[in-house]
Structures are given as C-alpha cells and as structure tokens.
Chains A and B, each alone.
Chain A
C-alpha cells in the first residue's frame, strides 16, 4: 500500500521536474541577451570573425534548433554526464561529485541546528506564553529573521581573523579523508545557516503549539490529570510538529539559496561557490545543470516530507 503510494507520488512529480527543465532552458535560451556578447563582452564580440562566431556557436551547440538543443540536454542529463564546462572541459557531474558533499554536509548541519535550536525555543514560548522567556525568545526571533545569514557569515570570518588570526582551511577535503579538517570547513557555515532558519522554525512551532494546546483532546488529556509536561510532549507536540515539518521543507529552498552566499563568505568550495564562479565566467552549461540540481533536490526533499507525512499522520490516506 505504502509502496504503491510512494510510486504514485514519484510519478506525479515528473511533470514538475520537466517544468523545471523547461523554465531553466527558456530562461537561458529565449530571454534577450546574445550569449556571445555575454561571453566576450560587447567589444569582444565585434572582434570575432564570422567563422569564429560560427565555430563558437557550434561548440556551444547553440547553432541548432531549440528542440534539438533541449533534447541533447535531456540526453546529457539522463546519461549522467550533465554537459561540460565551457572553459575547463570537465563534466558537470564530476564537479557535482567533487563539490557536492561539502554543500550536503552544510545543509545537514543547518537543518539539524535549525531544529535543535528552533524547536525548544518555540515550545518554551508557547508553554510560557507572555512570560519574560517568551518575550525574549520572540525578540530574538524577530532579530534573527531580519539579519541576513551571509552578513553573519562575513562577521564570523572577519572576527575570527581579527581576534584569533584564524582562517578556515581551504580546499576540498572530504569527511572520509580528514574528518577534523572537513568539520572545520562545514561546521561554521552550517551553524550560521541553521541559526537563520531556526528563527522561522521557532516562530512556526510556537504558533502551531499555541493553536493545538487549545484543542479539545489536549483539554481531555489535562482533565485526565496528566502532568503538563506529558500533555505537551506526548499529546500536543505530535500534532504541532506536522506544520513545522512542512515549513522545514519550504525553508530548504531558502537554505539552498542562502548556502550560495554563505559558502562564498566562508570560501567553502561547495556547489554554491561553483555556481557563482560559473556565473561570473558565463559558463552556461554549468549554470544550467547546477540550477537543475538545486530544483531537483528541492522537489525531492519536499516529496520525502510529504511521504513522511503519510507515515506520521494516520489521518492521511494512501489513496
């Protein structure tokens, strides 16, 4: 039953994924802006001979009809190569395998931190509504919602440089090669991103818990004489967590976007910095495939959250 449900949900996500590829393709191919002018600058383009232009267009594959270009891209994606960097000639899938793990680690740390900090703060605010603790946590939440994570990242980098003359290790060091150095690279960006996200989690947790606490079944639990701790943790929290889980999925997009800027601030050689580099080099193929990866990850994270829902919430039927 569940397997069938998962299968159907996977099937349903296919049109969305196709839509993502179409939007990226349209954005990069149809929108005004001559790729050659963007690559070489307006002046540089004029210096190219007609033969040069034809050759570069052939290399980029932009001399063929749009639908063939799209089909080629899809072939590239499905064969797992995802195209080549225009400047360096290594395939985008190699780039993703090399740099992806760092970004994935940062995302995992960030999600963990956002729940570990956000949930207790939100629960505390709801249980002790309008207490001093509630006011302080709400104040901090409002502040953290306003402060951009990449600025905090720059602050951390500059302060650790000025105060301790410390800079995080450079280069791509995977966790299976040297765990200690690897953690020095990923922990700080992960925590900064997690703190920014935790504010949203805390606010949502407080709101939903406050709502659930007023429900009849919670009153019943209290009337049975259960201690308040059990009422909240065993009864109210379970239902209150579902919307927080959904929010966590939506926030994952914010987190992916934020990681681009935070990685750049910490000079972590992850996917985010790769995207920025590809952008500045006008490396269309890399931009196209990296953005596709971001879209796919977002869709699958939210799909898995939907599936978790089906397991966690018995009210949701598999049909």
Chain B
C-alpha cells in the first residue's frame, strides 16, 4: 500500500520488471512497519478483521439468522460465546456477519465519495473560473449539514437498502475529497511540466488525467483511509437509529438498535460486544490513517 505512493517515481519507471516492483513493494512495506509500528498494528488488525469478515462462514460458529427459542437473551456461555440477542440469535456470528456488511458499506461509500470528490477537485482546480467558484460554494453548502443528518435526508428520499446507505454516506464524504484534492491540484497545476504538456498541444482532459491526477494520488489515498473510520461510525449510527441496514440482516449498528427499545430488560453483552467491534475497527483505521499521512505527507510529519 505504502509503496505506490511512497515513490511516485517508481510508477513512472517503465523499466522496472514485475519482480523488481514486488521487491520494492515488500521493502517499502517493511520500512513502513519499522518506522510506524503503531500504524502497522492498525494495518494488521484491519487485515485480521477483513479476513474474518470475508470468510465469515468459516469463522462464525452459528447461522447469524438462526433463532434459538430456548435461549432468548442468553448470557455468554460455552455454546454462545458472546451470548444471544433478544431474538435468540448468536451475537458472535452476527458480529462477524455484521462486520462484513459494515466494512462493505464503509469501504464502498468512501471509495465512491472520495473518488468522485477527487476527480471533481482536479477539475475544479484545473478549470478554475466560474466552475471552481460554484463548486466551492456547493461543497461548502453540503458541508454545512451534519453528516448523519444529511445521510438521513438522502435515505428518506432514496428509500432503504444497502446501496442507498452506501450512496448516502458517499455523498457526505464527497466534499472532503473535493477540498483536499483541489488544494493539491492547484499547486501541481502551476508546475512547469503542465505548461510543457499544454505547449505540446495536450487537451485539457489529457492534462488532468495524465499529469495532474496522478500527483494527487497520495493525498487522495491518505484522505480515503482517514474517512473509513468516520464512514463506519455513520453506518453504525444509521443502523442504531433504525434508518440504515434493516434487520434481520446484521450490521454493527442495528445490533445496538434493539437495546434501547428493550431497556426494561437490559442485557450488557448485546451492548458491549458490537460496540467493541466498531471501536476497534475505527481505531485501526485511524491508526493506519495517521501513519500513512505521516509517511506520505512530510509537511505534516510529527504532528
């Protein structure tokens, strides 16, 4: 991961064989781990979490939708390691399958939002003029809604379902992509080789795609990683409020949603474990994101 952005020149070197590239990737990955051990811990945790989510069928001891009528709200035991919820479903299995949904939603929404935002940012910086001014105003306006509230409005309009949740969260991430990438693109735009490309008769589109966008990759990458944690929290909040992924499909947020409706009979294991899953995942994203920012953006190093 670090390799690509650590050395943009590497990408540009067409002479490197695939083997050399692999070696280079390995070495820079190891360097990253040595320099940023905390970030590496976050990365390792994320690999573990993603593997468990991806191979949910192998790791989960029960069917996440199976209802055991004989143990409704059962405490953690040998049979149900983390207990069961009010409907008698195994919490551990639901956390594992819920993680799959939560990770999918956050990764896809950030990818969608940041990518469109980044492309918009490049265009806004390069084209300038009225397009830039209007873009900046739109971004400002979208940012003046609290992310959770904006996502809720979009969900009212679009209706439920995993894809609408992804789109709603993506829209809340979009302005950050525009802002961050625009600021990078503004400085890249002034470089001499952009003038050179223009002098050679390159079209606007070609200059943006071939000469400006690649230089913005590091900023885009850092931004996307940093927002994955926020996306997880928004998804979880939506699920908790009952407006996101709807049961019986498990997500970390909607597992917590049942608790408040049933406070006459509170069960702590239903509160503690999904929340821990959310917190640990967000923490890992943040740790990795901070380390990547330090590694890729020397200006911010040491903050």
Name A's B-contacting residues (CB within 8 A). Answer: 15-16, 19-20, 23-24, 27-28, 31-33, 38, 142-143, 145-148, 150-151, 154-155, 157-159, 161-162, 167, 207, 210, 253-258, 260-261, 264-265, 267, 275-276, 279-280, 282, 284, 287, 291, 294-295, 298-299, 302
Contact = CB atoms under 8 A, between A and B. Distances in A.
A15 B140 CA distance: 11
A295 B145 CA distance: 5
A158 B263 contact: yes
Interface of B: 137-138, 140-150, 152-159, 229, 233, 236-237, 240-243, 256, 259-260, 263, 266, 268, 271-272, 275, 278-280, 282-283, 286-287, 303
Most buried by A among B143, B152, B243: B152
Contacts of B260: 154, 157, 264-265, 267
B148 A257 contact: yes
A151 B141 contact: no
Dominant SS at the B interface? helix
Nearest to A208: B303
B144 A275 contact: no
A148 B231 CA distance: 11
12 contacts: A16-B140, A16-B144, A32-B157, A146-B282, A147-B282, A151-B271, A154-B275, A158-B271, A162-B268, A254-B147, A261-B148, A302-B144
A143 to B, nearest CB: 7
B148 A258 contact: yes
A2 to B, nearest CB: 24
A279 B240 contact: no
Contacts of A284: 156
A16 B275 contact: no
Contact of B145 (A157, A161, A258, A291): A291
A11 B303 CA distance: 37
Contact of B153 (A15, A24, A157, A207): A24
Contacts of B283: 142-143, 146
Most buried by B among A159, A279, A282: A279
Nearest to A148: B233
B205 to A, nearest CB: 28
Most buried by A among B142, B145, B158, B286: B145
Contact of A298 (B144, B148, B229, B242): B144
Contacts of B154: 27, 31
A157 B268 CA distance: 10
A254 B259 CA distance: 24
Dominant SS at the A interface? helix
Contact of A253 (B145, B243, B303): B145
B240 A287 contact: no
B243 to A, nearest CB: 6
B156 A294 contact: no
Given A150-B237, A261-B241, A287-B153, 9 more contacts: A19-B138, A146-B283, A150-B236, A154-B260, A158-B263, A159-B268, A260-B146, A276-B241, A279-B155
A196 B62 CA distance: 35
A20 B158 CA distance: 19
A151 B237 CA distance: 9
B149 A275 contact: yes
A236 B130 CA distance: 40
Contacts of B144: 16, 20, 253, 295, 298-299, 302
B234 to A, nearest CB: 8
B240 A264 contact: yes
Given A20-B141, A295-B144, A295-B145, A275 B152 contact: yes
A162 B156 CA distance: 35
Most buried by B among A158, A210, A264: A158
A20 B283 CA distance: 33
Contacts of A267: 260
Contacts of B158: 31-33
Contacts of B156: 28, 38, 279, 282, 284, 287
Contacts of A155: 271-272, 275
A154 B271 contact: yes
Nearest to B276: A151
A294 B271 contact: no
Nearest to A255: B146
Nearest to A264: B241
Contacts of A261: 148, 237, 240-241
B256 A280 contact: no
A279 B266 CA distance: 26
Which A-B residue pairs are the 3 nearest by beta carbons?
A257-B146, A257-B148, A146-B283
A207 B241 contact: no
Contacts of A27: 153-154, 157
B157 A260 contact: no
B149 A294 contact: yes
